[in-house]
Structure 1
């Protein structure tokens, strides 16, 4: 009888743990702020894009699901002008909450070094923005809130996974972010960026110490279409996140996460030109903890992280909090 391939190795993890890894690919783009670079943030929040085993597409076919929650509260100094929709604001305070439901299907491609999956995420968000807005010679502090509703859904038609060996794995994907959320250019708070975003993404996972120590990194470039309502074109944004997690026999795991976001092109448009392109960057570091429980036929993993942003330039600065639950069956 032919021996079934297990690309994580018999001494590291079983195939069911690898199934949970697959859904991490669907959560890799979980955090979706309600402002573009146009609003001093972007599609993604620093340090929230890497998930456990994001470099792995599991060899076992099947459906996986995940629920994720992100809370982000931050500010940008009132001494700095910020392009937001149809106007320039003097500083900004913003609070963002998102609940996302993700489905990922691993295709039956048989045994081998390549495996493939597809995913889609339906996010729900609430946004609260306070900013100093200038009207003529007067400046006033204005608050706007968008209550819970659907935010821009996103999907990846194909996620390709390659197994170098039992401990080294890579994924390649193109995530597509829609503009289907509610948007009003005259509001401060919106549930859409009013543009499509394309994010070519590469993930890499390395397993060490018989699979109990995991290093995963995710790199991507976010390429935006123009916001036609404001004639604002966001420049491309590079992002790189990494995590190191040590897992124990009782199901618990602890580790650290780091993130880097760097805008690599100037923004373009009437307000962007006044601010010399409004290119920004941010770094983040923080701890992560997770717990995995397995049963006959599936498993569930809970994970949480808390990050602190630093060395932030021309972006909102805050402390992202993220909680996820993934289930494989």
Structure 2
């Protein structure tokens, strides 16, 4: 790291600047972001319209997603501490202003198999989600304050920036779902989790994996009227995070609600809105948590458009949705875009599900 020297504080740069500046600067992003730097297991917006509708026919389905996320966070923190410069006691009062910005471009692959035999009267499916992508993160900060010694008071100002980027595989998420259909009403329950095998280093600013195990479960509902083409969906889930062994930091329990509402203009074209609410309801903890009880929150909303079309003897579904984030607390906010392509078996003849085929 390079530190900008200024004013009468130059004589302290070697002994005071590197150690104290790095420590104080590190506090500001911690205060701005709960969930260990604002990175949660659950990616808000993963579920959307038609989430609880069973697959049209048993068999394999594959979903690919391109996800771009651009977020920023900033914060100020003031600290006072006593240090020793040589054998001279000194009091340091400093204010750190730091900002972090991250851009992520990630590709998700979701593979699921829907079983033919009903389970508790519903359609059971099992599969996994895998990810590969790039993360580019930058942190910039300025530290200003005074050093008071028996010889006088000396002002100082230091600036620093860190840039980090990584490309690699993310963690793996096994998934299991049950879905039921009853006319216009569709219900689902799911369980998933995080196997921390992705590119992660606790000493690196940018990562693809999260570095710890997690388990997530919840349920959802979709109202879908085939006659009018109207649809509304909501999926509520909760995440339990295990302690990160590299940092001894444990995120609190997270709650997330993904929703979507749409109108099919034709049997192929769909337009509507999507949104999410993410709220940490438990406290961050562990010996690596130096700020006490800490909770994050963010909301997002935006438009969506979907198109259904035949792909050989399969059915394709393309969806584009975007979110603008707001009402964030202790978590970065920004905007994100999802481009989803799903390939699944078409409905059997005669149909075994009330979900329409949506093909000509």
With normalisation by structure 1, the TM-score equals: 0.80
- Among 36, 58, 62, the alignment partner of 1:61 is 58
CA distance in 1, matches of 2:77, 2:50: 39
Tell me what 1:97 maps to: 105
Aligned to 1:4: none
- Taking a change above 3 Å as real, the CA distance of residues 204 and 214 of structure 1, as seen in their structure-2 partners, is same
CA distance in 2, matches of 1:111, 1:181: 33
- Whether 1:259 and 2:259 are equivalent positions in the alignment is no
Where structure 1 has 5 or more consecutive residues not aligned to the other structure, the ranges are 1-34, 82-87
Secondary structure of the structure 2 residue equivalent to 1:39: helix
Cα distance in structure 2, aligned partners of 1:229 and 1:272: 12
1:42 to 40, 47, 61: 40
- Shift of the alpha carbon at 1:41? 3.4
Structure 2 contact 170–197 (Cα < 8 Å) conserved: yes
Runs of 4+ that moved beyond 6 A: none
How far apart are residue 132 of structure 1 and its match? Answer: 3.2
For residue 154 of structure 1, what is the aligned residue in structure 2?
173
- Per-residue CA deviations over 1:132-155 (Å, capped at 9, x if unaligned) read 3689x95511000002x1101111
- The structure number with the bigger radius of gyration is 2
Q: 1:103 to 1:79 in 2, by over 3 A?
A: same
1:139–1:277 CA distance, 2 compared to 1 (3 A): farther
- When the two chains are superposed, the root-mean-square deviation of aligned CA atoms in Å is 2.5
Kindly state the Cα deviation for residue 74 of structure 1 after the two structures are TM-superposed. Answer: 0.9
Please state if 1:76 is matched with 2:93.
Answer: no
Q: Are 1:140 and 2:160 matched, yes or no?
A: yes
C-alpha offsets along residues 16-66 of structure 1, whole Å, 9 cap, x if unaligned?
A: xxxxxxxxxxxxxxxxxxx982011322343x1223321123362111111
Work out the CA distance in 1 between the residues paired with 2:241 and 2:219. Answer: 18
Decide whether the 8 Å contact of 1:78 with 1:92 is kept in 2.
Answer: no
Q: Deviations over 1:103-128 (max 9, x none)?
A: 11000115994111112112102111
**1:178 counterpart (185, 195, 200):** 195
Q: 1:64 to 1:125 in 2, by over 3 A?
A: same
Task: Rate the CA distance shift 1:151–1:134 in 2: closer, same or farther, 3 A.
Answer: farther
- CA gap of 1:134–1:277, structure 2 versus 1, over 3 A, is farther
TM-score by length of 2: 0.73
Q: CA separation of 1:232/1:40 partners in 2, compared to 1, >3 Å: closer, same or farther? A: same
